[in-house]
Structure 1
Amino acid sequence: MQEHATSSGASPFDQKFSGWRTSQGDPSLAEVNSSVDVPKKPGFRRFAAFLGPGYLVAVGYMDPGNWATSLAGGAQFGYALLTVALLSNMMAILLQALCARLGIASRRDLAQACRDAFPRPVAFALWILAEAAIVATDIAEVIGTAIGLNLLFGIPLEIGVVITALDVFLILMLQRLGFRWIEALIVALLAVIAACFAVQIFMADPVWAEVIRGFAPTTDVVTNPQMLYLALGIIGATVMPHNLYLHSAIVQTRKIGPSVEEKRTAIKLASWDSTIALMFALTINASILILAAAGFNKTGNTDVAELGRAHELLAPLLGSAIAPSLFAIALLCCGLNSTVTATLAGQAVMEGFLNIRLPPWLRRLVTRAIAIVPAAGVTIFYGDSGTGALLILSQVILSLQLPFAIVPLVMFTASKKKMGALVAPRWVTALATITAVIIISLNVKLIIDFITAA
């Protein structure tokens, strides 16, 4: 077989691509590929160089859709669904580590790998499903951002939706400065979100013994159809399909040496980055659910699902006029963060599956339009009413789409032919397979419950 060099440097490991149909070719997000220098010397500076992509991924685990499912879950079932939030986060840590492994070892993101490994009709179908997941994600993020703007500044939802489309220009501006600027924006907004929730949880004064018990597993999640629906919403809002495509692309922003040892070190550090970031995301998600349980379930307001209604109830329930403002500020920051990362994911998915090469500004507009136009239409059609139900439904759709991203990811990273010396350990593959089986089984149970109820 003829040997090909890749753009990231030729090495025997990179050149032996017999497990793939083609050589790597051009990466997705080409303008930022290998743009962040990594110190050669071991130590904190090298570890710090890998911090960043995990936080972009973590943003997707605390988007407005997650808010809606966590608020509804906490209001209806108290602290019981904390166990689902914990389980979802453990799944996410495992799967995102596999994404980092795929991106660094093969220099392909998940979309590129699918295009390379599968027949064209299969890859096209997976692209359609990935785009549907991004649309569902954008529906949640557009609604959340628009509601945040409405709650803080009184801006009508329809105008708020249009404003969310401007994030594409923010990304273009920041990328001209360097990918680290995008990461800095995300981390800064996450810090604001964390501060807002810390104050709100202090005001809510939850019963911490009940909080701890909420992390214990319960069979009610499977036997109670309403709880299962919300549990799947939490899983879909946590283990988000577009994050798998995004993470495998943005880990390639680091300038990594071509040797197997350098890539092995990079995989370890990138996995630590995503693990730390996702533990932070778990803290935020658990805070939302705890706030709903302590503020709404305890007071008999078990039907709270609308973000606007939650905002209205916080002041009288927590006895502070600042609580609703903190809620709205955190929601707006989450929405802005999520739309930025969803735009990047849309670009990675389109470029990876279709290999379309356009100028950066046009590529951003096209990928953003594909997601935001249907999302904006649905948001404007629903208006102020029904947004909570729509947010939860969008997250359940994500859960139903998850297997179509997880199964290829597990297949690729478990293949020694494709991954070479950097193939995933067998125990990791076994856990990832169990994760896929759990998600597929819960999805099947949900579909059966839906058909039976109909």
Structure 2
Amino acid sequence: MSQRRTKSGFIIAAAFIGPGTVSTASLAGANFGFHLVWALVFSVLATIILQDMAVRLGYATRSGMSEALRTQIANPFIRVLLSLLVVGAIGIGNAAYESGNLTGAAIGLNSIAGIGIPAWSCLLGGLAVLLLWSGHYKLIETVLVMLVAIMAMVFVVTFAVSEPDWGAMAGQLFAPVASMDSITTILALIGTTIVPYNLFLHASLIAQNEQDGSQPAGYYRRQSALAIGVGGLITLFIMATAMQAFYGQAEALNAGNLAKQLAPLLGDFAELFFALGMFAAGLTSAITAPLAAAYAVTGALNKPSDMRGIWFRAVWLSIILIGVGFTLSGTKPLMAIMFAQAANGLLLPVIALLLLFMMNRHSQLGLLKNHWSANVAGLAVVGLIGWLSWQKFM
């Protein structure tokens, strides 16, 4: 068993614990306390349900999600239409997400050396290009994921030493809020956890690394659920530390004081450590997002998913360039990150419905085909997200 094979679930968890998660969870805790924990719990459960489908699809078919979709549609017109839909949805979503990744990493680095967020975004975009072009990014990605894990542990310890008000937290936990003022934050929490491109990435990772069937499907399914659950706990602690520092206080959370929530533990070093963590989270996700888009788009267009191929490189390069372009447009940093997460939340129902279609129709699924309970759970996820989106935009 190769080392890479054992990491697919944790790569997915690391992909969604990016600067969007840190910023969105911090804003949720600072502005709404624990009143939005229900949205996080829903997001984690929904992610486990949908990623489990992606794992089973990749394992059974030995192909990515785009390839599986293309082979299951007999009508040429519908096949082309759905391929264009996948290309458009993942392309737009990942471009927005890439902007948030680069912006988040730039926020961190700019607090150490203030050359400006646009300048740092360009440098980070160039670094992501070099890493992906070389194909030797995996060791660096592992190091960055370790830095994100260290940052997560600091949030846990900070929360523990901050003397939390357990009564207030419990009261807010059992008083969920879904007001118009909170809808954008709710969609952002959903979008930063249930990331549409992770469905494509997970299926492709399983398909490419389990060609010989050396591990049972259950191994990857358990790993996926465990990794996503750990990612959800990390998000919860980020929300809790922001609640302790900002909720009910006169000072509002913004891009300049995000690190304040770590001050009870790290004191004067809080800003430096937070900056390094945001850089690690941002660059890790800035590599993963265009990589997933390349898998999705090349599969939909029936092009080789070769990392050194011209089509594969053209897709991820376009995503990075568009992401850098968004950061140069002058959009406020936290607004860019929140927009990226909300965009993911809006794109998710379309991708989830396509996944449900394949999990019921693909001839190679066998015993890994969706049962009625998985279909009900998947439709419930799509229904709630669709209702929230309707409330926001209608």
- Normalising by structure 1, report the TM-score: 0.78
Identify which range, 359-368 or 83-92, moves more after superposition. Answer: 359-368
- Structure 1 position 84 matched with structure 2 position 34: no
Counterpart of 2:147 in structure 1 is 189
Which of 74, 99, 102 is the equivalent residue of 1:139? 99
Change (3 A) 1:274 1:374: same
Distance 2:236 2:289 in 1: 22
Change (3 A) 1:316 1:289: closer
Match of 1:394 among 334, 340, 343: 340
Question: 1:366 and 1:98, CA in 2 relative to 1: closer, same or farther beyond 3 A?
Answer: same
Q: Which amino acid aligns with 1:130?
A: I
1:364 deviation in Å? Answer: 5.6
Structure 1 108/315 Cα, relative in aligned 2: closer, same or farther at 3 Å? closer
1:242-297 per-position Cα deviation (integer Å, ceiling 9, x unaligned): 11111111112323435xxx6xx632111111111111211221122111110011
SS at 2:82's partner residue? helix
Q: Trace 1:335-350 onto structure 2 (pairs within 5 A).
A: 335-350=282-297
- Shift, 1:330, TM fit: 1.6
Q: Indicate the SS of the match to 1:277.
A: helix
8 A Cα contact 1:84 1:231, kept in partner? yes
Q: Give the equivalent residue in structure 2 for 1:368.
A: 316
Aligned: 1:379 with 2:330: no
Shift of 1:203: 4.7
* Greater relative contact order, per chain length (Cα 8 Å cut-off, separation 6+): 2
1:232 corresponds, among 152, 167, 187, to 187
Q: Displacement, 1:351?
A: 1.4
- The amino acid that maps onto 1:334 is A
Aligned length: 387
Task: Confirm whether residue 307 of structure 1 aligns to residue 255 of structure 2.
Answer: yes
1:321 and 2:268 are equivalent in the alignment: yes
1:212 shift after superposition: 4.3
For 1:430 and 1:106, how far apart are their aligned partners in 2?
23
Residue matched to 2:50: 95
The answer to whether the 8 Å contact 1:52/1:183 transfers is no
Q: Determine the structure 1 residue equivalent to 2:129.
A: 168
Give me the whole-angstrom Cα distance separating, in 2, the residues matched to 1:333 and 1:309.
18
> In 2, are the aligned partners of 1:295 and 1:318 still within 8 Å (CA)?
no
SS of residue matched to 1:320: helix
Q: Does 1:271 align with 2:271?
A: no
How far is the alpha carbon of 1:186 from its aligned partner? 5.2
Structure 1 residues 272, 403: closer, same or farther in 2, change over 3 A?
A: same
Match of 1:441 in 2: 387
TM-score by length of 2: 0.89
* Residue in structure 2 matched with residue 58 of structure 1 by the alignment: 13
Gaps of 5+ in 1: 1-36, 39-47, 449-454
- Cα distance change on mapping 1:185 and 1:315 into 2, 3 Å: closer
Report if aligned partners of 1:196, 1:326 keep a CA contact under 8 Å in 2: no
- The one-letter amino acid of 2:22's match is W
Q: 1:402 to 1:196 in 2, by over 3 A?
A: same
Name the Cα RMSD after superposition: 2.6
Query: Which range moved further: 405-414 or 162-171?
Result: 162-171
The answer to whether structure 1 residue 409 and structure 2 residue 359 are counterparts is: no
Gapped regions of structure 2 (runs ≥ 5):
74-78
Identity %: 22
Partner Cα distance (1:61, 1:248) in 2: 16
Question: In 1, are the aligned partners of 2:49 and 2:378 still within 8 Å (CA)?
Answer: yes
Matched position secondary structure for 1:52: helix
CA distance in 1, matches of 2:224, 2:263: 38
**Greater shift in the superposed pair: 191-200 or 132-141:** 191-200
Structure 1 position 217, deviation (Å): 6.3
Q: Closer, same or farther in 2 for the Cα pair 1:427/1:231, shift >3 Å? A: same
Residue 124 of structure 1, CA deviation: 0.9
- Equivalents in 1 of 2:241, 2:262: separation in Å? 13
The structure-2 alpha-carbon separation of the partners of 1:307 and 1:205, relative to structure 1 and needing over 3 Å to count, comes to: farther
Question: Structure 1 residues 351 and 189, CA, compared in 2 at 3 Å: closer, same or farther?
Answer: farther
Secondary structure at the aligned position of 2:385 is classed as: helix
Paired with 1:440 and 1:429, the residues of 2 have a C-alpha distance of 16
Match of 2:76 in 1: none
Which residue of the other structure, out of 87, 102, 119, is the alignment partner of 1:127? 87
Shift of 1:372: 2.0
Cα shift at 1:299:
2.5
Report deviation, 1:361. 6.6
Aligned mates of 1:418, 1:439 — CA distance in 2: 29
Specify whether residues 359 and 314 from structure 1 end up closer, same or farther in structure 2 by C-alpha distance, changes over 3 A only.
closer
The one of 59, 68, 79 equivalent to 1:104 is 59
Amino acid at match of 1:134: N
- Quick check: 413-422 or 265-274, which moved more? 413-422
The amino acid across from 2:153 in the alignment is A
Shift of 1:376: 1.4
Call closer, same or farther: CA 1:149–1:212 in 2, change over 3 Å.
same
Residue 19 of structure 1: aligned partner: none
| Partner in structure 1 of residue 166 of structure 2 | 208
Partners of 2:195 and 2:266 in 1: how far apart?
A: 35
